[in-house]
Structure 1
Amino acid sequence: MKTLTTVLTAALLTAMAGTAMAEEVVVQDGYAFEKNQLIPTGVRAEVGTTGYGGALLWTANPYVGLALGYNGGDISWTDDVSINGTKYDLDMDNKLAYLNAEIRPWGASANRWAQGVYMAAGVGYLDNDYDLSKRSNDGTIKVNGNNYNFNGAVEGKMSYKNDIAPYVGLGFAPKINQNWGVFGEVGAYYTGNPAVDLNANGTFVNVNGADFDKDLRAEQQKIANDDKYEWMPVAKLGVSYHF
């Protein structure tokens, strides 16, 4: 986390320095900041691994922009959670608000394709719930490495509640004409470990006498502390309209 914080701090300082240099260039070109630039300069609709939604866009200058958006819905970035070689089906409920700075290194280029390349750094507010249900293909389920004959179900929840998560990403947003454009973006939020709660209803029998309740709690902890669930991947596409 310390390394990630250092990287984000460096990115923001670079953006600030880039903004200062860009201001000097654009003022010489007759582009000066005005109060009406506090009004959004565009909007976009988007869909991807964090759900569907949209964003308001601001352009401070050709090099720096802001995006304030929201994604929600039940689109999943993965269909299952895997631990110890066994899987839980995953059903997502996304709720994500975000604020990103978008830095365009070639924002003043005459090439519109180069203008569209940007780096994103920001934060997201996550309130995501994921429903888990144990999968079985042969009438047995594996919990914490032990096989159980069962009559019932194992279900639960994995959630990222009220989390402020830093974000880094890379995008491409060229304009098609004066008003319309398209965009794509990939990145990741650092979410930290999720809260996990597993529950079982029914009977679960292991021929070697393993303790089901103990195994269920152990598997719950393994999912909650697995490093791969500390990151939420982002991939999204959309269209934009610029005023």
Structure 2
Amino acid sequence: MKLIKLTAISAAVLASTAALAADPVIVVDNNDAVVYEAKPVAVAYQAEPAYVYNSDAGIVRNTTGAVFGGTKTFFQTAVNPASVSAEVGTLGYGANIGWSLNEKTELQAGWAGGDVSDIKDDFDVDDINYDIDDADFSNPYLGVQMRPAANWFTVGAGIIVPDNDFEVTASAEGPNFRIDNIDYNAEDVGTLSGTLEHRNDLAPYLTVGFRPNISDRWGVFGEIGAAYMGKTDATVRSSNPTQIVRVTGGDELPVTGAEVARRAESELEDKDWLEWLPIVKLGATYRF
């Protein structure tokens, strides 16, 4: 009888555990039936927020874990936390979307472009000043923003896919165009105008900056740096291509306006300012 009793009790315990005691359990003891009702055990799980704003550090701390931790974690990281930013700078007007892997690392994908002649309207190449008449920029980019000290200081790096075209017009200094310390009479040369474009299909970039978050949703940022665009292809034309040009400062044979344009073109292609394009940008970020 004891064996039957122990067997019945054990079976009841196992059944109640497996089924979370959804149904009452009957145990027979010396012809007496006793009804035991097991209570289901409730376990409360509290979901941790995807990110927490740290007002002291001025950053948003991500709590979703590593991006490669699993399917669920990858999905959480992909959609939350995410941020969108608007920016303006030497690469043009643009926007990007970012995904925070943790409080120190954020992936970014964005685009900047448009007519940057509204932002920068001229530049100097040695002794010639060039007015930017039109600058059609398109700079999609992929990068990573890092916070080495887990605060507002940032270091950015990535790749730009540049498609940038300049239309420029040269301005003479006084009565002459000076190229390689030789003066060419500007009246004889006429107008020097041309186009420039970068040769690189991919341009690595590096920036440093600041990204303080002013609340759990809004932040601002500023960055400075450079992108290696490579050499440029230039085309310069003279409005007086067949005109013989008066030359000062060299024992030159007679040169035409077209030859002066060719020399200005060569000087443009050697200019480091165009090879290393400066990056200066300001913007605002919204995190959702």
TM-score (norm 2): 0.65
Q: How many residues align?
A: 208
Q: Would the aligned equivalents of 1:105 and 1:117 in 2 still touch at CA under 8 Å?
A: yes
Give secondary structure in 2 for the equivalent of 1:120: strand
The equivalent residue for 2:152 is 116
One-letter code of the match for 1:38?
A
The equivalent residue for 1:147 is 184
The equivalent residue for 1:82 is 124
The equivalent residue for 2:287 is 242
The equivalent residue for 1:126 is 162
Of structures 1 and 2, the one scoring higher in RCO (CA 8 A, sep 6+) is 1
1:94 to partner: Cα distance:
1.5
The equivalent residue for 2:194 is 156
1:153 to partner: Cα distance:
2.1
Query: Matches of 1:222 and 1:60 in 2, distance apart?
Result: 45
Q: 1:151 to 1:85 in 2, by over 3 A?
A: closer
What pairs with 1:201-216 in structure 2 (closer than 5 Å)?
201-202=239-240, 204-208=243-247, 210-212=254-256, 213-216=258-261
Q: Determine which of 84, 88, 111 is the counterpart of 1:43.
A: 84
Which shifted more, 169-178 or 36-45? 36-45
One-letter code of the match for 2:283?
G
1:238 to partner: Cα distance:
0.7
Q: Would the aligned equivalents of 2:200 and 2:229 in 1 still touch at CA under 8 Å?
A: no
TM-score (norm 1): 0.77
Determine whether 1:97 maps to 2:121.
Answer: no
One-letter code of the match for 1:159?
E
Determine whether 1:231 maps to 2:276.
Answer: yes
Q: Deviations over 1:168-219 (max 9, x none)?
A: 1112111111111111111100111111000122364423563133332122
**Larger proportion of helix:** 1
Q: List alignment gaps of at least 5 residues for structure 1.
A: 1-28, 108-114
1:101 to partner: Cα distance:
0.9
Give secondary structure in 2 for the equivalent of 1:105: coil
Which shifted more, 68-77 or 78-87? 78-87
One-letter code of the match for 1:75?
V
Which shifted more, 223-232 or 204-213? 204-213
Which shifted more, 230-239 or 151-160? 151-160
RMSD over aligned Cα atoms: 2.3
Which shifted more, 85-94 or 119-128? 85-94
Q: 1:88 to 1:66 in 2, by over 3 A?
A: same
Q: 1:31 to 1:198 in 2, by over 3 A?
A: same
Q: Would the aligned equivalents of 1:146 and 1:206 in 2 still touch at CA under 8 Å?
A: no
**Larger proportion of strand:** 1
